[in-house]
Structure 1
Amino acid sequence: MSSPTNVTFRYATRDDLPAIVALLADDEKGKTREELTDPLPNAYYAAFDAMASQSTATLPNQYLLACQGTDIVGCLQLTLIAGLSRRGQLRAQIEGVRISSQVRSQKIGEKLILESVSISKLLGAALVQFTTDKTRKDAHRFYQRLGFVASHEGMKMALNAD
């Protein structure tokens, strides 16, 4: 793989789904949540298509990719959300941040997060928010080093039938 200084960014296409799912599964939690098969389950394609149908130029809901040459080495989902709270401020939501285990500790994650923050600012977002699992202590330190503050307690409720 190329050196981390050669990282470029682009939005994902449908053809990138196998690489994205591989990144999502390349993680202690993701390997139990994702289904990395060939071919991929149709659910991933349906979700990508749903995201694309919700996405606009000013309110994107897309996967941002970090690439070294033609290799996809990182990803995150960036969604801009219009809302009424905070006097109608636009906010950016980051989800599914993953960096390939082959290139971790090369500042690619930092560059990817900073690129998503830059995009969010350019599109008028007043804040960037995300959740991170409470057990990911290294990730917490990483995000705090980048200037994020653990200002809220996040909660989730699984709605699965099983």
Structure 2
Amino acid sequence: MADMNFGKQIKKVRTDNKLTQEQLAQKLMVSRQAVSSWENDRNLPDLEMVVLIAKLFDISLDQLILGDEQMTNKLVKDASEVRKAKLMVISISLLLIGGLCFLSSAFTESRIDSNGMLHEPYFFLIPLGYLFLFSGVITWIVHFVVKRKKR
């Protein structure tokens, strides 16, 4: 199986299990055209679909993709892109939460009682805002370092 490409491997596994393209497509909840395009090497499934196919036929991922350098490279690239996207989403979320802490703090009413004591009910918003902003900036920097390193 090592000298086969991914399309031939999918087709072999499907036919060995006596399934039509339509039956496989139904099991994977994709179109028959998707299965056909995989088998004819017009397109490659994403990592989640490859895992699902391996589970469906009770074979290892190695068996399914072994020897198909194009498929292996795509899976590695997909995983890298997902990691980068997650870092970006985390970074933006942290920055937004930090900004919201500062904004909330600005609209929180503080008061001074008759003894001259300052009462701020949400005093923790400013330090939290700095914490989230700092974390967001660090995550953003890590995202770009990872992005540059992959080039």
Is the TM-score greater than 0.5?
Answer: no
Larger of the two Rg values belongs to structure: 2
The structure whose residues are more often helix, as a share, is: 2
Range of TM-score over shorter length: under 0.3
The structure whose residues are more often strand, as a share, is: 1
Q: TM-score, normalised by structure 1?
A: 0.25
